[in-house]
Amino acid sequence: MSNALHGLRLWVTRPRNQSAPLIATLRNTGAEVVALPLLEIAPPLDPAPLEHALAQLDTFDLAVFVSPSAFDAVLERLPGGWPTQLPAAVMGPGSALRARERGIAKIIAPSGQFDSTGLLQEPALQQLAGQRVVLFRGDGGRDELPQTLVQRGAELTLIAAYRRLPPDFDEAHLRAELAAGCDGLIVSSSEAVQYLFRLAGGATRQQLQSVLYFAPHPRIVAALGTEGATRIELTGVGDAGITETILNHFSPATDRALTAKKTHDAG
């Protein structure tokens, strides 16, 4: 498998503080990997609410994180260790792994659908009457999760743990990377899709619409379709799922099957 993707140039567009493991995994398959963050993560404009919540973290009954960026922002600023009895609710396997590595004993994470809907299906989040819940997210964010937690009885505190900013490169840089080659672009959020296509106009936008995309969630697939992308593949979840999907897509067996199908269709 070490050279399974040799000769391919793949783009990883995650925020720079979250991209290293996936980049390393893909490079181990022989691919040339370009780190091109479509989101920059920055501290909140007003850090006081976050600092206050962290100082009294042990008074909450549950901490919920809407993204890896929220989880990382909290752990980077946490003044002490994680409160022993405090459960942490996270969205995906990557955050669950980091939580275990940090010694968090009580972790709530969906086992199948790795998003707000999946997390809300967890038994531990069904009855929250009288529980003090802190939800860490980016500035803004969707309302489904906090609204549902309140409907289930939670005494909810919303904390902006970080800000999402546009990429720090321009259309000229994007054109140069496209000219150097893009055999597949891995995009990890709907907002990143919006930032990507806002950068481009005219011929550059047309090039982006013909690029092959790998996306780990149907919501991202839909966002790409809205922008006019025509080659989109839904991947498995996590780094392993993304890598497996890419390997299957470019495998010789897949190429042979496609060739056989075209030959059959032509006949």
* Alpha carbons 240 and 243: distance in angstroms, whole number: 5
Q: Which residue do the tokens 């497996």 mark?
A: 244
Q: Which of 86, 128, 129, 127 is nearest to 108 (CA)?
A: 86
pLDDT beyond 60 at 134: yes
* Alpha carbons 85 and 104: distance in angstroms, whole number: 9
Question: Could you tell me the pLDDT band of residue 252, with boundaries at 50, 70 and 90?
Answer: low
234: which strand partners? Answer: 215
pTM for the complete prediction? Answer: 0.81
Beta-sheet pairing, 9-12 with 88-89? unpaired
pLDDT beyond 60 at 264: no
Structure tokens at 126: 């069904």
Q: Which of 159, 152, 160, 221 is nearest to 186 (CA)?
A: 221
**pLDDT attached to residue 35:** 96
pLDDT beyond 80 at 263: no
Q: Which of 130, 131, 1, 123 is nearest to 63 (CA)?
A: 131
Q: For the segment 220-229, what is each residue's pLDDT rounded down to a tens digit?
A: 999 999 999 9
Ordered domains of the chain (ranges, CATH):
9-39+168-266 (3.40.50.10090), 42-165 (3.40.50.10090)
Q: For the segment 49-93, what is each residue's pLDDT rounded down to a tens digit?
A: 999 999 999 999 999 999 888 998 999 999 888 999 999 999 888
213: which strand partners? Answer: 185, 232
Structure tokens at 132: 């003090």
Q: For the segment 6-45, what is each residue's pLDDT rounded down to a tens digit?
A: 999 999 999 988 899 999 999 999 999 999 999 999 999 9
Q: Are 50 and 104 in contact (CB under 8 A)?
A: no
* Alpha carbons 93 and 95: distance in angstroms, whole number: 6
Q: Are 103 and 136 in contact (CB under 8 A)?
A: no
